[in-house]
């Protein structure tokens, strides 16, 4: 089994290395700007998508780097998640009980490798909601995320509030990011998170036409506020304290559903916070999983190699890799004492606190089911 896994791992690396060569920054739009819709590439994409049924909801305005103000009274049929408390059919919670759906937004950045080291040590798998502008700057980090068993998703090209963009601009934001990640990894993204959580029914329609499923976070209590650290006297210790109270409330609930947090791998500050926040979940015996595992989605990409990796709080892991041709090439399901992140060896299985922890069944069972589906 170890040889099979190692062989598959090598094949995956070779495949990714081959497609890596296709990244050429000059082929992409200006970073952190809404891509022009007049380019031949965007015009070609627009021919592939039918926007004729988009609801007639006005395009809002906002300063660059901010979401728009809430419209009061609410626009009929708009269903803005952050303003109207209206998630429509967005995913807003992890379907696995007692589970922290681990998500990081706004990367990759120079801080991401530190987070990846921590996740690897603790045998945790996350979903990374990537900004396309950053993907073309740090493609090797995106490649590393895949090879270490994480799940990739979209966070648009320029991180502009989507309700302030036209339908065709939304297409450009999503497709350029999709192209960049495809070039880096061979994976065509399927899940996305709207910047600022800013989404309404018009945005949802366009996303759906492009094959994307929005994943919000589980409300204000699960915003870690890592983005506020360093401003207005708000400290990392305060963020950890506030979030710990949310975790206590969750632990004392029925925990029938898991939750998704708002966290970021955008800077050393937010990554430092993550390294303090995650142990708060581990010490409360909350399991961890990426979006693919939370939603029991054995095909968490629109196309390309499917990688499912799941871990609990450092105790039990399973991963499975499927090639783009649809043939399962390996399945690894491991308990304590070995690694499950697509590698044949790894660090000892210990919790962040350094103590050996028992196998946690539910996430492992789902991972095994996912592996069975792939096999």
Query: According to CB under 5 A, which one of 23, 42, 105, 371 is a site residue for Zn ion?
Result: 105
Is-catalytic flag, 264? yes
Residue nearest to Zn ion (CB): 105
Closest CA to 198 of 280, 262, 150: 262
User: How many residues contact Zn ion, by CB under 5 A?
Assistant: 3
Least CB distance to Zn ion at residue 237 (A)? 23
Catalytic residue chosen out of the listed positions 105, 226, 265, 297: 105
Q: From 191-199, 230-238, 249-257, 269-277, give the range in contact with Zn ion by CB under 5 A.
A: 191-199
Q: Closer CB to Zn ion, residue 105 or residue 173? A: 105
- Residue 195 binding Zn ion, by CB under 5 A: yes
Q: Closer CB to Zn ion, residue 61 or residue 66? A: 66
Catalytic residue chosen out of the listed positions 150, 226, 264, 265: 264
Report the C-alpha gap between 294 and 299 in whole angstroms: 13
Query: According to CB under 5 A, which one of 90, 106, 173, 265 is a site residue for Zn ion?
Result: 106
- Residue 223 binding Zn ion, by CB under 5 A: no
Is-catalytic flag, 105? yes
Least CB distance to Zn ion at residue 159 (A)? 6
Q: Closer CB to Zn ion, residue 131 or residue 366? A: 131
Q: Closer CB to Zn ion, residue 132 or residue 186? A: 132
Residues paired with residue 127 on neighbouring β-strands, in sequence order: 103, 151
- Residue 216 binding Zn ion, by CB under 5 A: no
Residues 265, 271: contact at Cβ < 8 Å?
A: yes
Least CB distance to Zn ion at residue 264 (A)? 7
Cis status of the peptide bond prior to 108, with omega within 30 of 0: yes
Q: From 101-109, 179-187, 315-323, 352-360, give the range in contact with Zn ion by CB under 5 A.
A: 101-109
Q: Closer CB to Zn ion, residue 106 or residue 226? A: 106
Residues in contact with Zn ion by the rule CB under 5 A: 105-106, 195
Active site residues: 105, 264
């Amino acid at each position: 089994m170890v040889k099979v896994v190692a062989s598959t791992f090598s094949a995956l690396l070779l495949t990714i290395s081959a497609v890596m060569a296709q990244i050429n920054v000059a082929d992409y739009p200006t970073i952190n700007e809404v891509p022009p819709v007049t380019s031949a590439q965007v015009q070609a994409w627009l021919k592939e998508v039918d926007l004729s049924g988009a609801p007639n909801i006005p395009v809002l305005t906002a300063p660059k780097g901010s979401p728009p103000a809430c419209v009061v009274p609410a626009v009929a049929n708009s269903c803005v998640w952050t303003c109207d408390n209206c998630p429509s059919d967005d995913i807003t919670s992890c379907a696995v009980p007692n589970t922290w759906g681990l998500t990081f937004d706004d990367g990759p950045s120079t801080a991401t490798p530190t987070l990846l080291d921590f996740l690897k040590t603790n045998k945790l798998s996350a979903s990374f909601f990537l900004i396309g502008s950053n993907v073309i700057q740090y493609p090797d980090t995106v490649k590393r995320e895949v090879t270490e068993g994480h799940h990739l998703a979209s966070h648009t090209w320029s991180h502009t509030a989507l309700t302030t963009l036209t339908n065709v601009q939304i297409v450009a934001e999503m497709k350029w990011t999709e192209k960049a990640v495809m070039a880096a990894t061979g994976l065509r993204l399927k899940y996305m998170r709207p910047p600022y959580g800013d989404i309404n029914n018009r945005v949802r329609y366009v996303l759906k036409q492009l094959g994307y499923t929005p994943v919000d976070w589980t409300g204000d209590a699960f915003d870690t506020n890592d983005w506020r650290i360093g401003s207005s006297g708000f400290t990392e210790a305060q963020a950890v304290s506030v979030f710990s109270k949310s975790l206590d409330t969750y632990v004392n609930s029925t925990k029938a559903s898991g939750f998704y947090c708002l966290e970021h791998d955008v800077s050393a500050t937010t990554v430092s916070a993550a390294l303090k926040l995650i142990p708060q979940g581990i010490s409360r015996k909350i399991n961890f999983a990426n979006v693919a595992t939370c939603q029991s989605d054995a095909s968490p990409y629109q196309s390309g190699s499917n990688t499912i990796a799941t871990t609990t709080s450092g105790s039990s892991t399973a991963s499975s890799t499927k090639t783009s041709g649809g043939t399962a090439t390996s399945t690894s399901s491991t308990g304590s004492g070995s690694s499950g992140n697509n590698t044949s060896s790894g660090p000892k299985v210990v919790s962040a606190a350094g103590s050996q922890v028992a196998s946690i069944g539910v996430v492992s069972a789902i991972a095994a089911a996912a592996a069975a589906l792939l096999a």
